[in-house]
Amino acid sequence: MAVAALDRAETWSDDERRAAQWGRLFGALPELLLANAFYRRKLADAGVSDVREITALADLEFTTKAELSQDQTEHPPFGTNLTYSTDRYVRLHQTSGTTGRPLRILDTLDSWRWWRDCWRAIYRAAGVTSTDRVFFAFSFGPFIGFWSAFAGAEALGSLCITGGAMSTSERVAAIVASGATVLMSTPTYALRLAEAARQEGVDLVRSALRVSIHAGEPGASIPATRERIESELGVTAFDHTGATEVGAYGFSCEARDGVHVIESDFIAEVLDPVSGAAREDGEGELVMTNLGRWGMPAIRYRTGDRVRAVRGRCACGRTLLKLAGGISGRVDDMVIVRGVNVFPSSIEAIIRTFDEIAEYRVELVAAREMNELRCGIEPRPGAGVDLGERVATAIHRGLGIRCLVEMLPPGSLPRFEMKSKRFDRAPTSSSATLGS
Ligand SMILES: [Zn+2]
């Protein structure tokens, strides 16, 4: 893609970016502090009484999920992070609830349009246009991701096809019958679709699908997973990141080595886990501020996602911040196995290099006061008898830890449509499986 095709905001210098982002946030602060009880209280707690005392992002406090959750408990049902009266809001969505009680999130018509517009950058980078037919392999429940993606594709002029309330084989049939060219799903579910298609004698490589965009897990930024999706579906696979509380903020470009942050609409910061300092790049927890959802904003929101953020000009021409390798996991997902820091995504990166594995599950168990990894793998037909041994060797080589690998019967592990739960912890007992 030529640089000329990019938006001006995608090639900002650092100074241009900072000025534009701060201008947009600062422009909204007076109304916010006047009308939004949640943020007015936070500012007052921090000793700020006048918006003119705020001269930099660092003057504003972080927002945590625990705070928002507590606020909704104390002020049901929506909490106090509302800038307008409730009749101004047109949509209610909920967080997935994988990390605590679901949060209720409201959007006004304006902020919903903003969500939709954020998707423009994501689709454009993947080469999706008005001539595409986009299939959404999701349930269309209360989670915001696919609703916003659907609205974004519709605004683009694409033909939007919902895959809600369908079984996996019904979805395969619908993709083929409708001539869908773009698939939206989690990385895991894309592989599940390919598996179901094979079982029914359908080769999705020969279907009209040419692009896939994935979210919910980092798979599309993990080379082995991405290559597998691409070869099994005959697509070019792209990654996307977003959060219900924040917005649809990230997309992978043709370099596909991570996701760019849409910095015209979001301010990203990285919180150093050791010093607690927030920086413009580096490794740590992603902190996000959105710049267009003023009805229920997120200011310096701690996402809990662990990233390695890199600045500079990408091969695609963009100067937008890049989260290298996508989101490597939740900050609290990291486990320590015999002194080695391990993320679920680093295990996935190794396991997905084995074509003979259909599905897998990793369990962390406490054995003799030490954490130990156990991995269950479901082999595909024709897998070698030494598969378990080869996987254990690869994990040992790649991560420096020993892992007990167990072969499981075909079809015994769940295939997830939403965020996959392949990583179980049983920290207090050697046999119990918790956290799934
Ligand atoms: Zn790029």
Over residues 317-321, the mean pLDDT reads 98
Residue 426 reports pLDDT greater than 60: no
User: Quick one: pLDDT at residue 428?
Assistant: 34
Helix (H) or strand (E) holding 87: none
Higher pLDDT, 274 or 250: 250
Band of pLDDT at residue 414, cut at 50, 70 and 90: confident
**Nearest residue to 258 (alpha-carbon basis) of 324, 327, 187:** 324
Separation of 241 CA from ligand 1 center, angstroms? 14
Band of pLDDT at residue 432, cut at 50, 70 and 90: very low
Separation of 308 CA from ligand 1 center, angstroms? 15
Over residues 11-29, the mean pLDDT reads 96
Separation of 240 CA from ligand 1 center, angstroms? 13
Instruction: Quote the longest CA-to-CA distance of the chain.
Output: 70
Separation of 8 CA from ligand 1 center, angstroms? 14
Separation of 252 CA from ligand 1 center, angstroms? 7
Separation of 253 CA from ligand 1 center, angstroms? 5
Strands 182-185 and 133-136: parallel
For the chain, the average pLDDT equals 90
| Residue 292 CA: distances (Å) to CA of 26, 38, 68, 145, 391 | 12, 17, 19, 17, 46
In sequence order, the 6+-apart residues with CB closer than 8 A to the CB of 54 are 26, 29, 43, 48, 60
DSSP code for 31: H
Separation of 140 CA from ligand 1 center, angstroms? 30
Over residues 143-160, the mean pLDDT reads 97
Whole-angstrom distance, CA of residue 104 vs CA of residue 387: 45
Query: Do the Cβ atoms of 73 and 103 come closer than 8 Å?
Result: no
Q: Tell me the sheet residues that pair with 270.
A: 279, 286
Band of pLDDT at residue 430, cut at 50, 70 and 90: very low
Band of pLDDT at residue 303, cut at 50, 70 and 90: very high
Q: What DSSP line would sit under 330-360, residue for residue? A: EGGG-EEETTEEE-HHHHHHHHTT-TTEEEE
- The pTM of the full predicted model, rounded to 2 decimals, is 0.84
In sequence order, the 6+-apart residues with CB closer than 8 A to the CB of 114 are 247, 265, 292, 293
